[in-house]
Chain A
């Protein structure tokens, strides 16, 4: 475990070591690392998915994906919160003298909450629409990789968070499937009101 954490730190510090070498890349990362930019785009993607679809069946699949994504995001947040009650890992900028491209968050480094949330969202979106899901996974990867580069997380924090997001997403999928016909009934009410 000790060796794994050391290797994780080494990879994280190596990535962060590139900060300052390419000012244009740093400028892009200052944008992609933001709390608002990529999360807002992924969420807007879900709004777009809700209203698109070749026919009612296609749209229904997408809307189920959006519902799963939202539920998975909430649950992933909860799982990270519970883990944080029992385990705390210091952020890279606390333990090392690094070039920081972001503000200094005070919560635990592991597991990365942004990774858990964004991968939970991306997985739900993927279940609804493959192409949009691939785009969402790419955005989630870009966001969380930016955070490692910016010195806010170690790579294992992000991998752990992403694993939680994916696991939670498929748990939600299974749970909703086991709750049928309740989800279909709720979606049917939205459909009768011309909202779905």
Chain B
């Protein structure tokens, strides 16, 4: 491992990339088009699976990982915090990235639905904008 931050960086990368991949698989299965990076559900699911499996293979094969926290490994607390930070970053990246990639998805048959269901036909950004406008009009 290279440098003090190696284990932190590697674990963060593992969780970030695999979480992005898992979200792609999940959104493809649920038909949440507004969160998919690719227009085709099958391709989005495949992309997610490749990302998740690929980064695990890289993590396992690139360096010895069974190390105690006294010898370059991560403690339980460190890995828990890193997992939380990396998965939050992966969710934020997916919400922002898919909003940019699918920016044309403004109008949706599902626009009156709430929660994640609204993202079946529009992006996170447009859904939030629509919700804020509706709240402003009500006030």
Contact = CB atoms under 8 A, between A and B. Distances in A.
Do A and B belong to a common assembly? yes
Interface of A: 30-31, 33-37, 39-40, 43-44, 47-53, 55-56, 59, 77, 102-105, 113, 190-196
Given A43-B83, A43-B87, A35 B73 contact: yes
Given A36-B14, A47-B22, A52-B30, 13 more contacts: A35-B65, A35-B73, A43-B15, A43-B83, A44-B52, A51-B23, A53-B30, A56-B117, A103-B71, A104-B68, A194-B114, A194-B131, A195-B116
A77 B76 CA distance: 10
B60 interface: yes
Q: How large is the interface on B (under 10, 10 to 19, 20 to 34, 35 or more residues)?
A: 35 or more
Contacts of B26: 47-52
Given A191-B114, A192-B131, A194-B119, A40 B83 contact: yes
Interface in B79-93: 79, 83, 87, 90-91
Given A51-B32, A51-B35, A194-B128, A39 B79 contact: yes
Contacts, number: 98
Contacts of B38: none
B124 interface: yes
A37 B18 contact: no
19 contacts: A34-B65, A36-B65, A37-B60, A40-B15, A43-B83, A44-B52, A47-B19, A47-B90, A48-B22, A50-B26, A52-B26, A55-B117, A56-B113, A59-B117, A104-B68, A193-B128, A193-B131, A194-B119, A196-B116
Interface of B: 11, 14-15, 18-19, 22-23, 25-27, 29-30, 32, 35, 52, 56, 59-60, 65-68, 71, 73-74, 76, 79, 83, 87, 90-91, 113-119, 124, 127-128, 131
Residue with the highest number of chain B CB atoms closer than 10 Å, among A52, A55, A104, A194: A194
B102 to A, nearest CB: 14
A49 B119 CA distance: 16
Given A53-B30, A191-B114, A191-B115, A40 B18 contact: yes
